[in-house]
Each structure stands twice: as C-alpha cells, then as structure tokens.
Chain A
Amino acid sequence: MQAEIDFSHYLKSAGSGLIHLDLAVEGINCAGCMAKIERNLSTIPDVTSARVNLTDSRLALEWKAGAVDPALFVNRLAELGYKAYPFERDDAETLEAQRAQGLLRRLGVAAFAAMNVMMLSIPVWSGNVSDMLPEQRDFFHWLSALIVLPAAAYSAQPFFSSALSALRARGVNMDVPISIGIVLALATSVIETVNHAEHAYFDAAIMLIAFLLAGRYLDQNMRRRTRAFAGNLAALKSETATKFISPTEIRTVPAAAIQPGDIVLLRPGERCAVDGNVIEGRSEVDQSLITGETLPATVTPGSAVFAGTLVRSGTLRVRASAASGGTLLDEISRLLDHALQARSRYLRLAERASRLYAPVVHATAFLTMLGWLACGASFHDSIVTAIAVLIITCPCALGLAIPAVQTVASGALFGSGVLLNAGDAIERTAEIDRVIFDKTGTLTLPELDVANLADIPGEVVGLAGRLALSSRHPVAAAVARKAGAASPLPNIQEEPGQGVYGLHEGSPIRLGRPSFCGADDLANEILCRDPEASVVAFRYGEFKYVFAVRQRLRADAADVVAELARMGIAVEIVSGDREPAVRVAAEQLGVHEWRAGVSPVDKIARIEELARQGCKVLMVGDGLNDAPALAAAHASMSPVTATHMSQAVADAVFLGERIAPVLAAVKVSRKALRLMRQNLWLAVVYNVLAVPIAIAGLVTPLIAAAAMSGSSIIVMLNALRARAREAV
C-alpha cells in the first residue's frame, strides 16, 4: 500500500545529480536499530548516504538521480520491521532549529572567551596578593578586554535585542536588568583598566553571558525537539488523498500536496484529509472527530466535510476548499483567535519573578551608592561598589532556574507519552484544580470496538472477522480488527449499502445490515439496551448473531478519574454528543458533573464561568469543536488522534491508547513547578548572602566568579531532581 504513495512531493535535489529524501521512521529507539538500518540501506546500489538521526527518529537518504525508486527504501525498511513515511520539515520547525543553532553558536563563543579570560584572570587574582607588577596587571586587563568586548558584543545580542524591544513597548523583562548589568560591568572594567585599577570584571561579565545563554539554549532546544517530534507524528499519520488528476484518472498523493479547488475521491472506510464541499455522491459519515457526535450524519452534494470525517457507506467526490467555507470552521477560527489572545496575557513565572526582581536590584544598587557617598566615600568608589552590587545580583541562577527544570521535566513527560507544545505549559498545567474532559475520542477511543464480544462464541467471531475483511465499512472493519482476522474468505461479493455475502463450506454466509441478514429482531433488542451502538449482523446457515459496535471508554479512564479526584482535582465532562451517550459514560466513570450537547461557544462559556469562580481548568479534548475551549482553558491537552487544529492549540499532546498521560502530566508538572520555585528561592538565598558582601564593597572579581558558578551549579543539580519519574 505504501508503494502507491507519490513521493515526488518530498524528493529534493541535493546537487551533482543526487536526490535527497527525509523519512520519519517509527520504532527507531536504540543504537542497534540505527546500525541495522544504515548498514542495510547502504548496500543498495547507487545509494550514496543513509544516515539515521536517533534523536529525532529520522532517516536522511541520498542516491543518484533516476537509479532507485524511493518506494524501495520504504519496502526495505518494512522488511526490517520499521514503518517509514516521507516527511517535510515545516517552517515552524526550521525556525526553531535555526534559533537553537544560533544560540549554541553564541554560547560557544561566550564559553571560549570565558575560558581564555580565566587564564588571564587567575594570574591577576593570585598576583594581587603576591608580587605582580602594575604594568603586568594592566597588560592582562587589556588582553581580557580584547577578548571579552567583541565576544560579548556578539554573544549577548539576544539579551540586548529582547531588552530593547521590551523597553520600546514600555515594559520590563528579565533581559533589561541582564543587559544593564552586562553593559555596566564592561564599561566599568574598561574605565578601571584605563585608570590602572586593581579590579576588572571582564571575566564575570562573559561568564554571566555564557551561563544565561546555556539557560536560553536549553529552553530553545526543548522547543525544537517538540517541534521535530510533532513533525514526525504528522508524517506517521501519512495522510494521503485520492486526487483526480483528470476527470477520469485518480492518483494517491500526500494530503499536503492538495490545493484548494482540487477534487478528491473519498471511498467508504477512508478518513477525509482535507476540508471541502461534497460535489457528488451521498454517504453516511462519522463526524465524531469534528463535532463529538457519535451518531452518523448523512452528507449530500453541497454539504461541507472537514478533515477527520470518516466515510461510512457511499463514495463521495469532494472539492477541497481553503480554510473558509464551512460555517462551523469560520466560527471556530473566530473563537480560537479570541481565546489565544487571552492566553498570551498569561505571565510566566520567570516574568513575574523578573518584575519583582529588577526594581529591587536597581534600587539596592542605587541606595548602596547613596550610602557610600553619605559615609564620605569618593564618587568613584561609590559607583564601583554600586556596580559590584549589580554584577553579583545579576540573575545568573535565575536565568537557569526555570529552563533547566523545564528541560528535565519535559524529558520525564516524554517518557510518559506526553509532548509539550508550549514552553510555559508545565507551569500552567501544574496550577490546575479542575479537569474538563471531552467524551468522544478523549475519554473514549477514537476507533470503534465490538461491545458484546462476550455474548458471541469465539469461532463465530473468527469467521465473521474473516468475512468482514472483504468490506470497507468502518463498522465491519471494527469486527475484523477485534477478531484479529488475517485471511479473508474466498469468493465474497459485496452488495453496496447492504453488506457482504458468499458461500463458506457449502453454506451461505453474510454480514451486513440486520435486514440483509434477517436479524432485525436481534438487532432491535441490542439497540433497545444500547441506543448508541451501531449494529452489524452475521448469518451463517441458520445461525444469526448481531455485533454491537461502539466507541469504548479508554481502559484506564475510570482509574484516572478516581486518581484525579483523590488528588483533589474536580472532574467534569463537557461533550458535544447527545445526552444519553454522555450520561452512560459519566455513570461508568463515576463523574457527577457532566453536560451534553454543548456547542463550541458554550464550551468556552463554561470555561470562562469557571475561570470567574477562580478555577484553573485543564481542558482535555480532541475534536475540532474542542479547539476554542482548548485555547481558552488555563491549560490543555489533546490525544495524538485529535484534529490538526486541536493539536496545534493544545499545550500538550499525549500518545497511546491510555489516558494515564494526563495524570502523569499533572503530577510531573506539579513537581516541576515546585522545583522551579525552589530554584528561584535558592537564587534569592544566594542574593541574600552575596549582596551584603557587595554592599560592603568587598566583592573582588574572584568572589563574583565563584558565587556565580556556585549558584548556577546548585540550581542545575536541583533541576535534575525532576528526572525521577512519577510512578503512574
């Protein structure tokens, strides 16, 4: 099936007659996989390079143009046991990668400068207490200036530009005190060097820059990794669409290659990969991923369909449209913009800390200067002491305190199957006191499942499953999947819209609508008990059985709800589905607060009402109808099966069939927030110890350097404690 994919969209010329292809590969998780894949693929003739990136689970291939069919690689990987999909780096990921690399380059420059300056500073420190000649000291200071000034001008640019833009917007951020500290430290050092003074702070300034850049790089690298993984997930979904390349001819192309106006064919059992309008055909569709409604709807020419719609019975032709067109989509986009604006007003912990921090530090430095002047010190000495206060309080540990914890915690979350989308997601998730779950696709599994398997003999299930392999109807597919059927029965025919039938060992066998199998009474009995189920009947000779197929709750949903309640977090279900369906789910899970038939507007209204009452809500949802609520909530999570829009706005995405990652996210985030606060307090304690020394005018460059590295290392070590994984 993979071989049908059109690779041309993903092939890139690598120059000199070479072609480059990037593949996202599922299941690369050890060095063995890496060696196996690289060795195997490099034996293909004309392949010039096959290199696995273990961090991002990707494979970069290059080969001579025209020599190899790209499908060969995918097939070869499949033989080795890996699923591979072509992928394209999106703009956001490229941007994050460039930023991370830029920061690493600046960090390298700053670190090299810091090391070389230390080589000059240590002789000065030791020489000041022994017999260094003033001329030698001046020479070493000038050399330090020669190294540090250009290095600082280059590597501190991120702080300067961020501080400038904050000042232009008449605000203050963390970078303002940092920039002031750096500039003053360098300026004083130059002036002191000119005046043949004993102390210069070149080493402290460049060390400060290096430590702060390390914090920035950690933060940026975390974002880059998340983006890369999200890119893989998008590729692994391998969304393809069947496009009409002429009025009669079709071709399977990647969904990314579909342009507005293209006409796409949708067959039963396929999930629509684009938004558009039906122009031909009529079918039942499952829109549960979009509206949360589990009952199928009927679409006819003119109806809007959205990416994620599952076609159940008939074949459709759809004209792909740009983002507008569907009223639902328009409304959701509008709500989304509004909610995202509100979220951008959230103040991160680091920002809150810096708002308190900057005025206190600057006031302390100013008072120090006034104090020394009042005590009769010279103007020069007072200024130098005030600047020493600024240097020693410069938030070296503060700049590392939060990114270090975030990096470590996001690694721990990754291990629990949670991927963070937003840098401040951990802080916000830690603060929540109420969880709102969507039902369809979130508490339930998105795949259909056979509910009454226990009532049907095993051999019947097996046989029905093999028969069901001949049908593309999603309900039949659920039976086949549940039966674990692998070998389809021979000579089976399909009666469109009814079911499949044939002969098996001399007896007629059929699977389909209850009326098609003469099993209406059995089906009605099931539907009376469980109005939410879809039924599919099976008849073999005189035996008749009816399968009830429905979305099943995630296996651990009840445990997670109970555990959340134990942690004192209120749980609520807000669903777009109809009342009976939501009531049943709520009862099974023991959730007392639930709302059914809620529109996207009302979901937001509910969240805003709770926010006014002072609740901080974690919204967990997957549908297009949940997207605005995900953006409006204090924090949000989506399963990986969610629609693109929901995944893009959610703070975190969780993998797998279990819902336990939601619990893990809350626990890890709470622990991480605790560590962030601890780290901030450690930084404060350090300041409380160091500032009196600075105010007393006793800070030498040696003390500044030792204090700075000491506090940074303590903060880093404390952050590592976030690594201990929560047992969930």
Chain B
Amino acid sequence: MEVLIILVPLALSLGFVGLLGFLWSLKSGQYDDLDGAAWRAIADDEPASDHGRSK
C-alpha cells in the first residue's frame, strides 16, 4: 500500500493540471464561440501558399 504515497499525489496533481488547463482555456476565450469552434475543427486547412498565417 506504500504505492499510495506516490499514486495519490500524482492523481491529484494531474487533476489539478486539468483544472488549470480548463481555467486557461476559459480565460483565453475558447468558449466564446462554441458553434464556430465545432465547424473549425472539421474545416479544411488553408493552403500554405494562400496566406502565411492560418486563423
């Protein structure tokens, strides 16, 4: 059962990292346009020659 000493903090810190990730994504506005995001995921990539930046 000594393995708990490693596993429990590990599990908790992974959970905490997940939470931080969620808070970051919320803050950076990734939930502002859920309809658009759903389509962006399956949209074709822009051809590289079209414009340098893909938005």
Verify A51–B55 contact, CB threshold 8 A: yes
Known contacts A31-B39, A43-B51, A55 near B33 by CB under 8 Å: yes
Query: In the assembled complex, which residues on chain B have CB atoms less than 8 Å from the CB atom of A49?
Result: 55
Report Cα–Cα, A136/B7, bound state, in Å: 14
Q: What 1/0 mask marks residues of chain B from 24 to 40 whose CB sits below 8 Å from any chain A CB?
A: 00100001111110011
Verify B8–A53 contact, CB threshold 8 A: no
Q: Which residues of chain B from 6 to 55 have a CB within 8 Å of any chain A CB?
A: 8, 11-12, 15, 18-19, 22-23, 26, 31-36, 39-40, 42-43, 46, 50-51, 53, 55
Report Cα–Cα, A147/B11, bound state, in Å: 12
Confirm or deny: A357 has a beta carbon within 8 angstroms of a beta carbon on chain B: no
* B13 CB to nearest A CB, Å: 10
Smallest CB gap from A151: residue in B: B19
Report Cα–Cα, A7/B52, bound state, in Å: 29
Verify B31–A104 contact, CB threshold 8 A: yes
Report Cα–Cα, A34/B33, bound state, in Å: 12
Report Cα–Cα, A402/B12, bound state, in Å: 35
Verify B34–A112 contact, CB threshold 8 A: no
Query: In the assembled complex, which residues on chain A have CB atoms less than 8 Å from the CB atom of B26?
Result: 101, 104-105, 108
Partner of B55, one of A38, A101, A109, A139: A38
Smallest CB gap from A143: residue in B: B8
Partner of B36, one of A34, A101, A119, A147: A34
Q: What 1/0 mask marks residues of chain A from 27 to 43 whose CB sits below 8 Å from any chain B CB?
A: 00011001100110011
* A94 CB to nearest B CB, Å: 13
Verify A31–B55 contact, CB threshold 8 A: no
Q: What 1/0 mask marks residues of chain A from 65 to 107 whose CB sits below 8 Å from any chain B CB?
A: 0000000000000000000000000000000000001001100
Report Cα–Cα, A49/B54, bound state, in Å: 10
Confirm or deny: B1 has a beta carbon within 8 angstroms of a beta carbon on chain A: yes
Smallest CB gap from A48: residue in B: B53
Query: In the assembled complex, which residues on chain B have CB atoms less than 8 Å from the CB atom of A30?
Result: 39
Query: In the assembled complex, which residues on chain B have CB atoms less than 8 Å from the CB atom of A143?
Result: 8, 12
Verify B43–A53 contact, CB threshold 8 A: no
* B37 CB to nearest A CB, Å: 8
Verify B11–A116 contact, CB threshold 8 A: yes
Known contacts A34-B36, A55-B32, A42 near B15 by CB under 8 Å: no
Give the one of B12, B23, B36, B40 with max A CB within 10 A.
Answer: B36
Partner of B35, one of A35, A54, A104: A54
Query: In the assembled complex, which residues on chain A have CB atoms less than 8 Å from the CB atom of B32?
Result: 53, 55
Confirm or deny: A608 has a beta carbon within 8 angstroms of a beta carbon on chain B: no
Confirm or deny: A565 has a beta carbon within 8 angstroms of a beta carbon on chain B: no
Verify B35–A109 contact, CB threshold 8 A: no
Query: In the assembled complex, which residues on chain B have CB atoms less than 8 Å from the CB atom of A34?
Result: 36, 39-40, 43
Report Cα–Cα, A108/B19, bound state, in Å: 7
A contacts with B, residue count (CB < 8 A):
29
Smallest CB gap from A38: residue in B: B55
Verify B55–A50 contact, CB threshold 8 A: yes
Confirm or deny: A56 has a beta carbon within 8 angstroms of a beta carbon on chain B: yes
Query: In the assembled complex, which residues on chain A have CB atoms less than 8 Å from the CB atom of B4?
Result: 136, 139
Confirm or deny: A420 has a beta carbon within 8 angstroms of a beta carbon on chain B: no
Verify A31–B40 contact, CB threshold 8 A: yes
Query: In the assembled complex, which residues on chain B have CB atoms less than 8 Å from the CB atom of A42?
Result: 51, 53, 55
Smallest CB gap from A112: residue in B: B19
Query: In the assembled complex, which residues on chain B have CB atoms less than 8 Å from the CB atom of A55?
Result: 32-36
Smallest CB gap from B42: residue in A: A31
Report Cα–Cα, A31/B39, bound state, in Å: 6
* A131 CB to nearest B CB, Å: 12
Report Cα–Cα, A38/B23, bound state, in Å: 27
Q: Which residues of chain A from 426 to 445 have a CB within 8 Å of any chain B CB?
A: none
Report Cα–Cα, A31/B34, bound state, in Å: 12
Confirm or deny: A688 has a beta carbon within 8 angstroms of a beta carbon on chain B: no
Query: In the assembled complex, which residues on chain A have CB atoms less than 8 Å from the CB atom of B33?
Result: 52-56
Query: In the assembled complex, which residues on chain A have CB atoms less than 8 Å from the CB atom of B23?
Result: 105, 108
Verify B43–A112 contact, CB threshold 8 A: no
Report Cα–Cα, A31/B22, bound state, in Å: 25
Partner of A116, one of B1, B15, B31: B15
Report Cα–Cα, A351/B42, bound state, in Å: 43
Query: In the assembled complex, which residues on chain B have CB atoms less than 8 Å from the CB atom of A139?
Result: 4
Report Cα–Cα, A112/B18, bound state, in Å: 8
Query: In the assembled complex, which residues on chain B have CB atoms less than 8 Å from the CB atom of A115?
Result: 15
Report Cα–Cα, A147/B26, bound state, in Å: 21
Query: In the assembled complex, which residues on chain B have CB atoms less than 8 Å from the CB atom of A116?
Result: 11-12, 15
Report Cα–Cα, A283/B19, bound state, in Å: 65
Report Cα–Cα, A101/B36, bound state, in Å: 18
Query: In the assembled complex, which residues on chain A have CB atoms less than 8 Å from the CB atom of B1?
Result: 136
Report Cα–Cα, A53/B36, bound state, in Å: 6
Partner of A109, one of B19, B39, B51: B19
Report Cα–Cα, A110/B1, bound state, in Å: 29
Verify A52–B18 contact, CB threshold 8 A: no
Verify B39–A54 contact, CB threshold 8 A: yes
Smallest CB gap from B41: residue in A: A31
Report Cα–Cα, A34/B36, bound state, in Å: 8
Report Cα–Cα, A101/B28, bound state, in Å: 11
* B41 CB to nearest A CB, Å: 10
Verify B43–A54 contact, CB threshold 8 A: no
Q: What 1/0 mask marks residues of chain A from 104 to 144 whose CB sits below 8 Å from any chain B CB?
A: 11001100100110010000000000000000100100010
Verify B22–A112 contact, CB threshold 8 A: yes
* B52 CB to nearest A CB, Å: 9
* A117 CB to nearest B CB, Å: 10
* B29 CB to nearest A CB, Å: 9
Identify the 10 closest CB pairs spanning chains A and B, nearest first. A31-B39, A54-B36, A116-B15, A112-B19, A53-B33, A55-B35, A54-B35, A108-B22, A55-B33, A38-B55
- 5 A-B contacts, Cβ less than 8 Å apart? A31-B40, A34-B43, A42-B55, A52-B36, A119-B11
Interface positions of B (Cβ within 8 A of A): 1, 4, 8, 11-12, 15, 18-19, 22-23, 26, 31-36, 39-40, 42-43, 46, 50-51, 53, 55
Interface positions of A (Cβ within 8 A of B): 30-31, 34-35, 38-39, 42-43, 49-56, 101, 104-105, 108-109, 112, 115-116, 119, 136, 139, 143, 147
Given contacts A31-B40, A34-B36, A54-B36, 17 further A-B contacts (CB under 8 A): A31-B39, A34-B39, A38-B55, A39-B46, A39-B51, A42-B51, A42-B53, A43-B50, A53-B33, A54-B39, A55-B32, A55-B34, A109-B19, A112-B18, A119-B11, A136-B1, A136-B4
